[in-house]
Chains A and B, each alone.
Chain A
């Protein structure tokens, strides 16, 4: 297969992804070892090899909307298996970042929603408020009663406290300025 499409926009996209991810994608052998070990690859989610092929071919829209970039759990299995040490989660992260910057609608909205709520919690409170973030995700995604049974059992064991959801609404400025400036400087 051709290493890359020769048009300048295709090359720009490839070099943008390489620069952000610090991965040398031109070394990819297309051997597919990464896909063989990727835990999230399935009939619906293409394996990492295909994602690299899309970036190499300069298929920007295709790569940015590839569901793998959202499903990737950063497990590093691809990197361990890859004969030329390509880390796909660096590539997926770079593609998510580009999608955010270009205000593209995420191709897997529920995963994106969870991540947005996660970061909102960190921006507001400095730390992730786990239970509150889970509750908010369930509300916003319409799964009102999801996992409530587990929550109740853990509460009865004293493992989690309902107080955690209601207390501590005051904003914490420690990291919100980091979010603001990082967004500006990018």
Chain B
């Protein structure tokens, strides 16, 4: 199966392990990724707050260029990119006046024929658990993972393929298919503080701190995420959370694609598992998972 692939800016920078592991894993499960031609930023929340026409136009430029290829579905690993592309697609569909303005701004026609998905939910719904299970070489036995979806997945009518966006379950199911023990908890769609990391750092330490504390209390070996912002906040700010709250948390935070790759037998360095601030290798070694 072939789909359009919109990596998004973070995956070229701080979330490079997400991009790397996505490409390996999709190849292994038979999902051919056609990278969006000449893609540019979706505008994220800053464009949305500055000027709605700008925000829709930035997303529309990418949609129009993907429409020129032969795919009908497009996946984005980042839940915010995915939400922006999907929302813009829908707004253009129902608002002819906006569509006219966007055409004027971008010079590009949008037919509205694409269907936009979160990568993880698409893998669950279109590739399926059986296909994943059948490729597992090293089941994640005895590894206790906490699936953290983050807030951007959960918006109703947002970018999720979940049957109930208020209570997403795809990530839990994928992790179980890898043989991991999936822990139940209350924070799976709570906000980590997102883009306030630089400007309102205290707020992010508070919000991310709650998530880490709960994950630790539940006994998580790893927190598994689908969002680059969640990964960055929970991983790189854990040290500051510890000094602020006088705790000693040290829970690695990894992308779901890295764990799929690991269970399929790809090497940790190929999956760039050694690129995170809190190194996940010691805990995996302790679980007898790595040689």
Contacts and interface: CB of A to CB of B under 8 A. Distances in A.
The yes or no verdict on A and B being binding partners is yes
B200 interface: yes
A128 B45 CA distance: 12
A75 to B, nearest CB: 4
Interface string A152-181: 011001111000100000000011001101
Contacts of B154: 76-77, 80
Contacts of B291: none
B193 A111 contact: no
Interface in B177-199: 190-191, 193-196, 198-199
B100 to A, nearest CB: 10
A64 interface: no
A44 to B, nearest CB: 10
Contact of B277 (A85, A154, A181): A154
Contacts of B236: 147, 150, 154
Q: Which of B47, B61, B275 has the largest number of chain A CB atoms within 10 A? A: B47
Task: Please classify the interface of chain B as helix (H, G, I), strand (E, B), loop, or mixed, using the class held by over half of its residues.
Answer: helix
B53 A122 contact: no
B104 interface: yes
B163 interface: no
Contacts of B152: 74-76
B46 interface: yes
Contacts of A92: 49
A182 B57 contact: yes
Given A111-B200, A119-B47, A153-B277, A75 B53 contact: no
A180 B10 CA distance: 24
Contact of A39 (B101, B104, B190, B199): B190
Given A127-B41, A182-B105, A100 B51 contact: yes
Interface stretch (B11-19, B113-121, B213-221, B260-268): B11-19
A86 to B, nearest CB: 12
B38 interface: yes
A145 interface: no
A97 B49 contact: yes
A68 B272 CA distance: 38
Q: How large is the interface on B (under 10, 10 to 19, 20 to 34, 35 or more residues)?
A: 35 or more
Contacts of A111: 196, 199-200
Interface in A54-70: 69
Interface of B: 9-10, 12-14, 16-17, 38, 40-41, 43-54, 57-58, 61, 80, 101, 104-106, 151-152, 154-156, 158, 165-166, 190-191, 193-196, 198-201, 203, 207, 236, 239, 272, 274-277
Given A100-B50, A175-B58, 6 more contacts: A122-B40, A122-B47, A127-B40, A157-B277, A159-B14, A181-B104
Interface of A: 20, 39-40, 42, 69, 71, 73-77, 79-80, 85, 87, 89, 92-94, 96-97, 100, 110-111, 113-116, 118-119, 122, 126-131, 134, 137-138, 141, 146-147, 150, 153-154, 157-160, 164, 174-175, 178-179, 181-183, 185-186
